[in-house]
Structure 1
Amino acid sequence: MILTDLFSIILRLAELAFACVVAGLTGSYLHQVDGVSSWSVGRHIYTEVVAGLSILLSIIWLIPFSSSFIHWPADLFISILWFVSFGLLVDWLNGSCGNVFNWEGISLHRTNSCSEWKAIVAFAFLSAIVWLASAILGFFWVHRRTATHSTVPVTRRRRWYRSRV
């Protein structure tokens, strides 16, 4: 029991960290293109909204109670949102920075925008995987918990108004 709680906290911390990285880098890009039509940066706005929602939910669900496991449908939904964001960003790059998972030539200089985009795509993918792992952990926890409760024999109490005679 303590191991699943610890693993859940580690996953929530990773969700929070990955969403913060994506929100920071995407927010920096949106700040740079201020004044551009919102239709041309729609996928980046979507990514920013998903990152903000992920930050909020991971902070709320970081509290280590067993009720944090029952949110596995929301974890699965957020994971799907992250996979959509990942797909939108990969489609937007369209090979302009090379293969998405090709990390050769990546530098830490601020002038290298391909490094930033590949980092956003990578952390969006990692965030999707971590949210999916959290959903799977929650599903198995809930399934195991309900399976053990359903095998326990139910004893019925006698109603107080019935006599023994």
Structure 2
Amino acid sequence: MLPTDEAITLEGFRLILGRQLPDGKALKIALTAFYGIGRHTAERVMARYSIHNTIKVGELTQAQITCLTSFLSSPATSPRPILPGKTNLEHIRPNDPLADLKIETELRKAMLDNIAHHRAVGSYVGRRHAMALPVRGQHTRNNAQTAKKLNRIERKR
């Protein structure tokens, strides 16, 4: 007999924006489950909200989870934390790398738009994408199977 949805529990997991992050995993590794966030970006996000580098997902407080959720839902409009003794205007830097961060569907849409632009312009890269060939100078004699799978414009994700 299959378990029903009510019987499935999330013991040992934290749910952040629909992703189940294991409690025992380091936060900087767990954040890489989101498309567009690597280790370096995860460390920057943690530093922005004063979260220790070695914290596990299960050790997060509710306030930290709220900060991470608000940031990951919309990185461009998320509020920056105010440090003691400073105003919010002192934290804004003109070259803040996290201000222009795109993740999940925004990043996927931007990538597909870029590919469509290359194809419309008729550039070399666009023609390679249209023919489902490697785009970045790889050899095609033997190992082009992965590129033929990935360089199709009709991606499912």
Structures share fold, TM-score greater than 0.5 = no
Decide which structure has the larger Cα Rg and report it: 1
Q: Give the structure with the higher percent helix.
A: 1
TM value normalised by structure 2: 0.29
In proportion to residue count, which structure has more strand?
2
Looking at both structures, which has the greater relative contact order when contacts are Cα pairs under 8 Å and sequence separation is at least 6?
Answer: 1
| TM-score normalized by the length of structure 1 | 0.28
